[in-house]
Structure 1
């Protein structure tokens, strides 16, 4: 069969493109090497995180993605919780950063409150009140449970929007208007999108190499279910997280936060650790995470990293049980200079990749933009890549 669009990659970036095209009335097919989505799209916190995106186009995409997640969840039948986020400050320099951010233009597009320890206690039972200076509460962030959301979104696209999914079908060659699987079978389309995430070496590796993509590994954990009556409330982040997201980069006090951690806990910088928590739909808490890049990425996980993350989480949180029932790692591809890249590698063939840890936050809106712009301007190139 001939399609308007073929998508190679069944993660959130691929699903985003397929959904956007189907909403425009296009015929779509999706292909993936694995029997189901198994990459970074199901191995993350489930945070839709506009507060971490810098003001401007990237923040606008995040806010648009927020709206699209609510739409997709309602259509596909998975929970999308407008839980918000809470950055906790247990040191004066962290509290200074939160005040600077809340009072700056960098906070544009977000609904924020600087909150006292007393207000924090009403927002979440998890915050450690010992030494707590205050917090920054954002109403903007969402929570999904990644494996559930991806599975049900895929089912919705397949069953309601009639998009065929060809899992266990490695695509080994892509040309203008045609994809070929490892068994020699071919399919044709007007346009093709390749969204293979960390597994980018299989198709057009030279295009990915030219973008100088970095491979990143992160370790994460899940606690056993917390008591049924105990709810985390908003996503929780700590002062460590201020080092990680570029939205806080211009806060004058951030340098002091970075210097303190570099001096007192250099092991955290060594493994790129910043700690966050989200609640999964089974009641357990998703905890993480770490960041190891390129040659430091190994197939085995490090117990030291998990221990450091738990150490730092226990400084900022008190929860009923810390018993860990699952540990895993994820891999993602990160662009070194921009939020992602879109590159035309053949006429009517686009590679879309490099979201780093922002895939859940940005990809639905970016995919929508690609499909809409591509339909009107086939040579469209969002980021100046050739």
Structure 2
């Protein structure tokens, strides 16, 4: 007998998990499908940063803050562990300090400016050479990206909120029926496709017409001695030219011009440096951005060396032995925080959260379910 559900979610990365959570909170029966035996794509290959500070003022920033609330609810329910670590953008050049001061004066985000001594007090690993100051935001969270998705899926399964089918590739969807590569079938009233960077298996025409672009990023990890207190996420001045929240700053143009003139290699590979220090001593660092046809399976040593060069300007470490290197690939829409479409009756495509999947998915999925099924939750 073909098993029937109210909702089927295809993809158990953070976007798919967010939809499974939102549907189950409305008392709906949920089946969650993932082609891998564990989530292993973009949702586990990131900094573990919930990063509202990167979202532009208005609706997107408010959605990021709502996502933050939903992450904290998961912690309160014992699903996973979070650190309310906040973040510091570090300024080493006057044009970087100008952007941070202008951004702070706009009053659109919850931030405060810090003197150099205050930066070092909050984050002792910051490199003090040339330090002009920084900007603190209290809204950022840290989660272990390598365990968060698995823990959420295990909670959904154990609590009866969803029936999880890992190692199950859905190859065909038609009129509420789902077919796997093994020939198994399920039926659902509503199907949500959260296929991440896979733009070919399901609804390739729809996704091709969406102008989605794939992005590859390189990252690395170093292991230091455990630290006794929580450290904020750290971002260098290069980051100011990457996140949409800072585009409202007129002073950004001077910073962008300096980088383009003096360090075109950083623009060539979309390099901006960030570091997430865990209490265990693990520090996740990166990253870079290569798009479309520039993406290959092979990582570039030049990118790693450039990132390490810039990271040494941002932080000081007892040693710089890199114990792991990896890359991730995600789909990004050029203008929207996520691409949503309804290619068939009862089918919703939800992809393209870009590098903000951890930050935005819970809030974006909740917004979708408020539109589809109302506000009531259980």
Q: Shorter-chain-normalised TM-score: which range? A: over 0.9
Please identify, of 10-19 and 66-75, the stretch whose mean Cα deviation from structure 2 is larger.
66-75
The answer to whether the 8 Å contact 1:227/1:320 transfers is no
- In 2 relative to 1, CA 162–13 (structure 1 residues): closer, same or farther, beyond 3 Å? same
Match of 2:115 in 1: 116
The structural deviation recorded for 1:251 is 0.9
* 1:98 counterpart = 2:97: no
Answer yes or no: is 1:326 the counterpart of 2:324: yes
SS of 1:319's partner is coil
Q: Which residue of 2 aligns with 1:235?
A: 233
Whole-Å Cα distance in 1 between the matches of residues 169 and 78 of structure 2?
Answer: 26
Q: 1:202-221: CA deviations, max 9, x gaps?
A: 10011111111100000000
Query: Within 1, Cα distance between the matches of 2:134 and 2:112?
Result: 8
- 1:384 corresponds in structure 2 to none
Does structure 2 retain, via aligned residues, the 8 Å contact 1:76–1:156? no
Partners of 1:77 and 1:212 lie apart in 2 by: 36
Could you tell me which runs of 5 or more consecutive residues in structure 2 were left unpaired when the two chains were aligned.
none
- Matched residues in 2 for 1:38 and 1:229: separation? 28
* Match in the other structure for 1:302: 300
Q: Which residue of 1 aligns with 2:179?
A: 180
Match for 1:341 among 322, 339, 342?
Answer: 339
Aligned pairs for 1:1-386 (under 5 A) are 1-104=3-106, 107-108=107-108, 110-224=109-223, 226-229=224-227, 233-280=231-278, 282-376=280-374
Q: TM-score, normalised by structure 1?
A: 0.94
> TM-score when scaled to structure 2?
0.96
| 1:175-211: CA deviation from partner (whole Å, max 9, x where unpaired) | 1211111122110011000001001211001111111
Provide the secondary structure at the position in 1 that maps to 2:82.
Answer: coil
Aligned to 1:248, the other structure's residue is in SS state helix
State the shift of 1:231 in Å. 5.1
Count of residues in Structure 1 that have an aligned counterpart in Structure 2 = 373
Confirm or deny: 8 A CA contact 1:73 1:149 kept in the other structure.
no
Q: Deviations over 1:318-356 (max 9, x none)?
A: 122321110000000000121111100100100001111
Contact 2:95–2:252 under 8 Å retained in 1: yes
CA distance in 2, matches of 1:26, 1:89: 48
Cα deviation for residue 230 of structure 1 reads: 5.8
| Counterpart-to-counterpart distance in 2, 1:131 and 1:281 | 27
Q: Name the SS for the 1:285 alignment partner.
A: strand
Q: Secondary structure at the match of 2:248?
A: coil
Instruction: Please give the alpha-carbon distance, in whole angstroms, between the structure 1 residues aligned to 2:53 and 2:167.
Output: 37
Looking at structure 2, the residues matched to 42 and 251 of structure 1 have their Cα atoms a distance apart, in angstroms, of: 32
Structure 1 unaligned blocks of 5 or more: 378-386
Q: CA deviation at 1:111?
A: 2.3
SS in structure 2 opposite 1:249? helix
CA displacement at 1:232 relative to structure 2: 6.4
Distance in 2 between the 1:116 and 1:266 partners?
A: 30
CA distance in 1, matches of 2:120, 2:321: 23
Greater CA deviation, 155-164 or 266-275? 155-164
CA apart distance, 1:280:
3.7
Structure 2 CA distance for aligned equivalents of residues 148 and 376 of structure 1: 31
The 10-residue stretch of structure 1 (37-46 or 73-82) with the greater mean CA deviation from structure 2:
73-82
